[in-house]
Structures are given as C-alpha cells and as structure tokens.
Amino acid sequence: MTGNGARDTNGQARTMAQIAELAGVAESTVSRALAGSRRVSEETRSRILSLVEASGYRINSRARSLRTQKTRTIEVVIPISEANRQHFSDPFFSQITASIADALAEHGYDLLLSRACPWTDVSGADALTSNRADGVIIIGQGRDPEPLVRYAETHKNVIVWGVDIPGRNYAVVGGDNFLGGKLVGEHLLSQGRNRVVFFGDIRYVDIGLRHRGCMSALTSAGASQDQTLTLSMPFDSASAYQATQSLFRSGAWHDAVFAASDLLAIAAMQALADLKIRVPEDVAVVGYDDIAMAAYMTPALTTVRQDTTAGGRALVENLLTIIDGGARRDIHLPTELIVRRSCSAK
Amino acid sequence: MTGNGARDTNGQARTMAQIAELAGVAESTVSRALAGSRRVSEETRSRILSLVEASGYRINSRARSLRTQKTRTIEVVIPISEANRQHFSDPFFSQITASIADALAEHGYDLLLSRACPWTDVSGADALTSNRADGVIIIGQGRDPEPLVRYAETHKNVIVWGVDIPGRNYAVVGGDNFLGGKLVGEHLLSQGRNRVVFFGDIRYVDIGLRHRGCMSALTSAGASQDQTLTLSMPFDSASAYQATQSLFRSGAWHDAVFAASDLLAIAAMQALADLKIRVPEDVAVVGYDDIAMAAYMTPALTTVRQDTTAGGRALVENLLTIIDGGARRDIHLPTELIVRRSCSAK
DNA sequence: TGAAGCTTGGCAATCGATTGCGCAAGAGCC
DNA sequence: GGCTCTTGCGCAATCGATTGCCAAGCTTCA
C-alpha cells in the first residue's frame, strides 16, 4: 500500500472528509464548493478552496466517476493486427492521435489508448462495457465490416474514422477516398502517365475506394485495363520496398506508382532509387495521407492530404455531441491533392 | 443517462448484484468466483461464470479500483511545449509509445496518454494524485530538471526516459547519449570529415550530451574548435530546413551535419538537395534515433539507434516493479551507430 | 409579532465491487 | 453421540464523492 504514489505527498488531506473536518463543515459542502454550486456562500467557499490549495488535495476521480457514472475519458482504438503489419508508429496514426489528444484535452477529457479491437478481444478489455470510458473513437474500419457493425449495435457512443459503407450503424468522419483516388488518376494522366501500379490491400474499404477512384479516372480517359496493375500488400515499408524491387528489377515498364499510404510510397521511392530508376523522370510516385514528412522527402512526395488536425477535432466534437445525447452525424472532410516533385511530367 | 454506452446492451445483468440474484448466491460469492478464489466450489463458480457469459456482464472497473485502490492504468506523459515545437507525431515518440502500449497490454494495464506535464499543469490534471493512474512514464527530461525533481519528491511511482543527471531522485531508462555522440564524431572523422555542424537545442540534457560526445571525439582527434558550429533550434522539420538553407545557401564549407534527431536530419537532407548540394558527397548527414523511416530515405540515413522496443519494455517493467514495492533501478540501453549511405566517405 | 421566503449547510442514501469475519453443514475421529 | 476441523458461503463495512431532501437562521413585509 505504501507503494501508492497518490499517498506519498507528505501529510495533509487526501479525502474530502478530511478537508471538511479542517474547514469545520460537512463533506457535502466541500463537494458543492468545489463544484462551484451557488448553494455555498462565497466566504465558506474561499475558506475551503484555500484549505484545498494548502493541502494539495485533489479530488479522487475514481470515486467521482463511480458516483456520477461518467469517466471523462475517451478510448482511442487503433485496430492493429499482426497480419496487416500496420503499426501505431505509422505517422498517419500518430498524427491523428495527437490531434485527438489535443481536442480531448481542450474538453477536459482523458485519452485511453488501445491497440486491440474491443469487438475482437475476448479478454474483457472493452473499455466501454467495463466503464472505463464514456466513448470510443475507432481509427479505421478494417477489412471485415461485420464485427464493427455488431459492436456498434450494443454500443452507442462510438465514432469511426472511415468511410460510408452500406449497413453501417455508426457515425463516420473522413475524407472522400474515391475522390482522392480520382484526383490522383487525373493528375497522373495530365502528366502523361497511364501505366500505373497501385500498392495496397484493396480489401480495406478506404483503400479499395482510393483504388477504384484512380482506376475509374484512368479507364474513363481511355487507358486500358491491362496497363494498370494492383499489388496487394500489408501496410509496412518492407513490403513496399520488396514489391517495388521485384516489380522494377528488370527495368521500368510502368511509369507511376500510386501507394495507399505515404509510408508505402516512401519505401517505394527508396527501392526505385536503389535500382537507379529516377523519380519522377522514369517513374512518378504518389502517396496518400500527406504525413508531415512527405514534404521533406527527396523528391518531395505528391500525395492526397488527409487533414488529421481537422479530423481529430471532428471526431472528438462529434463523439462528445453523441455522448451528450445529440444526433449521430457524419462529417466529410475536404480531400485535396498536394502536388510536389515526385510526380511531375516525364 | 440513456446516453451511457455501457447501459445499452439489450437487457441482462449490469452489476454483480444482478448476477448474484440470478445465481441465487451473495454478491461476495460472485466476486470471489470471478477473482478465482478457492473459497467457492467449482460447481458454484462454473454456474456463475456461465451466467456472466450469457449476460455479457463486465466487472465495473471504476468500482473495483475505488475499492482496491489500484487502477491498473499507467499514464504516459509526452512533455510537449509550444516553445520546443516538439510534436507527438515525431516518430520517435510514437514508436516508443507504441512499444510501451504493447508492454502494458501484456501486463494487463491500460495506457492513459497525456501531453501536459503534471508538474506544470495547475489545473489538477495530474493523474497520479487524482487517482487515475498507478504510475507515470515520462518521456524526456526537458531543459529544466528542477520541476521534475520536485515532482518526483512527492510521487514515487515515476519513471523517466532520459539520462542520469546530478540530484536526480527518480529512475531513468535510456541509452548513453554521450557515447552516441562520440560514435558519430569518430565515424565522421573516419570518413575524413571534421567541419561539423550540430543541429539541436543543447540545453536539453540528452541533446547536450550527444553534442558534447561528438565534439569531444572531434577535438581529441585534433580538430579545432572553430571548425565546428552549433546551431540551436527547436525540434521541428521546418526549423531544420530553414537553418540548413541559410547556412549552406552560399555553398558548403562544412562537410557534415549531425542532427539531434532523425526528423531534423531528414529535413536537412531535403534542404541540401534543394540547394543542389550532394549528400553524402559534399555534405554528410547523421541523425539520432533510427526511426523506422530512416532506412528508407534516399540516401539512407546514418544514425544512432535508440531501441524504442527495448526501451518501452524496460520502462514498463521497471515501473511495475517499483509499483510492486521493488527497488528503484536505472536501465542502460545499448547505443549503436547505424551506418548507412548518408554518411560515407567523400 | 408572526408568517413567508430565502440562504446556507447537514444527513444519509447511493454508485458497484472487495474482503474480514462469522456461521452452518458435513466429514472424520474417539 | 459428541467434538473438532474443514469447506463454502453470506453479512456488512468500506473505498470517496455526489445529491435530494430537510432544517435552522435570517430577512422581509403585513
């Protein structure tokens, strides 16, 4: 018990009862004073406040949340499986997590970070049902929509970063992935490129849309199906590097790579450089996300911006509205192509 | 109240009392059955367990932790100030956070992510004193050691990613920053480079050590003081880009850049490329951290590895030992130079 | 002077799980 | 048959804060 950090401040009040005793009032009065209720006189309040100050007392948030049935905590779930090799340190995840953290802090909420899907995990780690969080933000829908739908059936305070899919019963925030892909396709065409390879696992709903958007732009401009190639791969740099190597080892027939994320695009650029294939002269490379580092690549990476700052804020504000009993609502974020050197004309 | 997600599962038991009622036993028996106590018969236990299963009951962790005085939650603090422009999405932070998250999950702990220093924040957001966490992991010591020392005086369950400094009263986990710098200095010399620019704010203890390590290697090999330059800057890419631009705009007199982090090094490489200065032929670039992307730069980045996987695990295991009443203990991680193409011979 | 109204503050139940202690029933023994 | 010992389970206090309701004291006005 002595190991409990919370008990280690030297002396003074640890509980409201002790503050009440010191102030010569009842616990309820202390509680009201701290809560800013007008039912306690200014004089009593300031006396209590200075005692609180002096003793370094902090309200016990466990006890409070047991009583109030609110935790003022939101769980952020990054659904990561071994299979897809996606990692929390993918800058996209950490950027959006950072902006979620900021937005939550502004609203006085804590952030519980979780890497396991609550609907997968049988060990009872679900923060919502175990009363550790008031709501859940889920980053990404994954490949199989079914479990998430089932989860959302019994859990109302949920919001998802992702796309609109049929049968969905939860609110989503996200950009227009089809449009993103389409913008890339059109830009590639405008640069005289139509022999495009797509990198990414199109079974993920959002990735699939990016893929279809790009392909539709290409084919509607007359590019034939067999000029394009889709290479399915997980989300890690190594996969993209190897895929690029084996595809381009014997020279470049394709003239552009469109990767499902900047991380993949960067690895592809490196592989091309190692093969002495020039970017963008021989092969153009386009990514997705516009992570902070994309602008600092050599050549700088052309990519589709997902505004993580706006995204994080939108997720948080939307979720808090839902928690407060407001209506569930989707938010569509602008989708914008950021043209940089990695994809200029031949 | 209906907004509470935890209440939305259709029907069934929400509290132990309800389970007890269903099973026809007392609450205490349910509690013991769930805790695996041998004081309840196998038969009763399995009856209770199947009831729990069927009703989707999850123990209320708030109530439990109020009673047990344990939260099974660890706060991770990323001390980020506006001034230093450091950002959680710096891959170093997100990588170490990810491995902390993994290690905590293995031990059944939750991760509370916080971006404000508990010793700075007056708003009472300190998770330890407000009983929201059993311990705190702090990533980095910052520039002024004083507040952290004061904080550690009253909070025992604290561990810090950082370096050994005089007057320290908390345990640290980290690599040998002086050695890291020294290895870089020696390597630069071996590549025939001794006109080195250092990028970074050396008032941070760890950065200062990297700096001193490098400089000591250079001067002890006979390089004169005025061949080296130290450019103080915050932790963001933009600063490094601008600093590089203004330093090298009129050609390169220096033949190497040693940046305090990979993020800075990458921005420096980009600036050099934009100035048509070749890396590594004209100027070598070395970073620090070995973030995942470092290997995928063009040219691949030479850097000092900070093993975030081992680091995260060490932080967690060390902290949990302290919480369990074990002795406070420092852990020194191996420090290793990773040589890649960005810093080969002229 | 007395009734009514307002302000201030205390009492006690409550949130949901844990745990020391006590009790009853059955087993084993003389 | 009576006694001790073990096993299995229930009672009730407890963790610390919140809040509906009640009460005492004071002001105000007829």
Q: What is the nearest CA distance from B112 to chain A, expressed in angstroms?
A: 5
What pLDDT, on the 0 to 100 scale, is given for residue B268? Answer: 98
Q: Establish if A143 touches chain B: CB-CB under 8 angstroms.
A: no
Q: Which residue is nearest to nucleotide C20 (CA to C1')?
A: B28
Q: How far apart are CA A157 and CA A223, in angstroms?
A: 45
Confidence band of B252 (pLDDT split at 50, 70, 90): confident
What pLDDT, on the 0 to 100 scale, is given for residue A30? Answer: 95
What pLDDT, on the 0 to 100 scale, is given for residue B124? Answer: 53
Does the bond joining B299 to the residue before it have cis omega, within 30 degrees of 0?
yes
> Which protein residues, judged by their CB atom, are less than 7 Å from any atom of strand D?
A 14-17, 27-28, 31-32, 34-35, 59-60, 63-64, 66-68; B 24-29, 38-41, 43-44, 63, 66-67, 69
What pLDDT, on the 0 to 100 scale, is given for residue B1? Answer: 30
Contact A14, A51 (CB under 8 A): no
CB pair distance less than 8 Å for B113 and A112 = yes
Average pLDDT, chain B: 91
What pLDDT, on the 0 to 100 scale, is given for residue B38? Answer: 87
Enter the DSSP assignment of B120: T
Distances (CA, A) of B120 to A82, B146, B167: 38, 11, 20
Contact B171, B330 (CB under 8 A): yes
What pLDDT, on the 0 to 100 scale, is given for residue A252? Answer: 85
- Give mean pLDDT, residues B72-88: 86
DSSP string of A280-303, one letter each residue: TTT-EEEEEE--GGGGGSSSPPEE
Encoding tokens for residue A284?
Answer: 């153009």
Which B residues, 23 through 42, put their C-beta within 8 Å of a C-beta on chain A?
none
Q: Report the chain A residue with the minimal C-alpha distance to residue B321.
A: A3
Q: What is the nearest CA distance from A336 to chain B, expressed in angstroms?
A: 21
Contacting residues of B for A94, CB less than 8 Å apart? 88-89, 91, 93-94, 97
Ranges A243-252, A286-295, B82-91, B158-167: which has the least confidence = B82-91
Q: What angle do CA B219, B225, B227 make, to 5 degrees?
A: 100
User: How many residues make up chain B in this entry?
Assistant: 346
Sign of CA dihedral A150, A151, A156, A158: negative
Does the bond joining B280 to the residue before it have cis omega, within 30 degrees of 0?
yes
C-alpha closest to that of A343 among A268, A292, A274: A268
Which B residues, 231 through 290, put their C-beta within 8 Å of a C-beta on chain A?
237, 241, 263, 266-267, 269-270, 273
Q: What is the pTM of this model?
A: 0.92
CB pair distance less than 8 Å for A237 and B292 = yes
What pLDDT, on the 0 to 100 scale, is given for residue B144? Answer: 87
Confidence band of B346 (pLDDT split at 50, 70, 90): low
Nucleotides of C under 7 A from a protein CB: 7-12, 14-20
CB atoms within 10 A of CB A48: 24
- Give mean pLDDT, residues B305-312: 97
Q: How far apart are CA A321 and CA A316, in angstroms?
A: 9
- Give mean pLDDT, residues B94-119: 90
Sheet containing B302-305: order of strands: B229-231, B196-199, B256-259, B284-289, B302-305, B336-338
- Give mean pLDDT, residues B231-238: 95
Q: How far apart are CA A75 and CA A73, in angstroms?
A: 7
Phi/psi for B25 (5° steps) reads: -130, 180
Higher pLDDT, A161 or B4: A161
CB atoms within 10 A of CB B312: 25
DSSP string of B202-227, one letter each residue: TTSHHHHHHHHHHHHHHHHTT--GGG
- Specify the 3-state DSSP secondary structure of A8: coil
What pLDDT, on the 0 to 100 scale, is given for residue B9? Answer: 39
C-alpha closest to that of A116 among B259, B98, B309, B48: B98
Q: How far apart are CA B269 and CA B262, in angstroms?
A: 10
Encoding tokens for residue A338?
Answer: 């950021």
C-alpha closest to that of B217 among B204, B198, B238, B243: B198
Contacts of A85 (CB under 8 A, 6+ apart): A234, A235, A236, A239
Report pLDDT digits (tens) over B49-73. Answer: 999 999 999 999 999 999 999 999 9
Confidence band of B223 (pLDDT split at 50, 70, 90): confident
Find the radius of gyration of the CA atoms of chain B.
26
For A125-143, b/e burial (b = at least 16 CB within 10 A) is bbbbbbbbbbbbbbbbbbb
Q: How far apart are CA A225 and CA A212, in angstroms?
A: 12
- Specify the 3-state DSSP secondary structure of B60: coil
Angle between helices B262-274 and B91-106 (to 10 degrees): 150
Measured between CB atoms, which of A8, A295, A324 is closest to B3? A324
- Average pLDDT of each block of 10 consecutive residues along chain A (346 residues)? 34 85 93 92 93 92 95 92 80 95 93 82 70 95 89 93 94 98 97 95 96 96 84 95 96 94 97 96 97 95 97 98 94 97 83
Q: Report the chain B residue with the minimal C-alpha distance to residue A275.
A: B298
- Specify the 3-state DSSP secondary structure of B4: coil
Measured between CB atoms, which of B87, B266, B296 is closest to A241? B296
Contact A5, B128 (CB under 8 A): yes
SS (H, E, C) A110-169: EEEEECCCCCCCCCCCCCCCCCCCCEEEEECCCCCCHHHHHHHHHCCCEEEECCCCCCCC
Q: How far apart are CA A67 and CA A63, in angstroms?
A: 6
Contact A154, A311 (CB under 8 A): no
Q: How far apart are CA A288 and CA A261, in angstroms?
A: 4
C-alpha closest to that of B288 among B214, B230, B224, B191: B214
Contacting residues of A for B10, CB less than 8 Å apart? 154
Q: How far apart are CA B214 and CA B204, in angstroms?
A: 15
Contacts of B214 (CB under 8 A, 6+ apart): B181, B182, B184, B185, B188, B196, B198, B258
- Give mean pLDDT, residues B325-338: 96
C-alpha closest to that of A100 among B59, B265, B202, B113: B113
Q: Number of C-alpha atoms within 13 angstroms, CB side, residue A233?
A: 26
User: How many residues make up chain A in this entry?
Assistant: 346
**The residue to which tokens 């309040």 are assigned:** A45
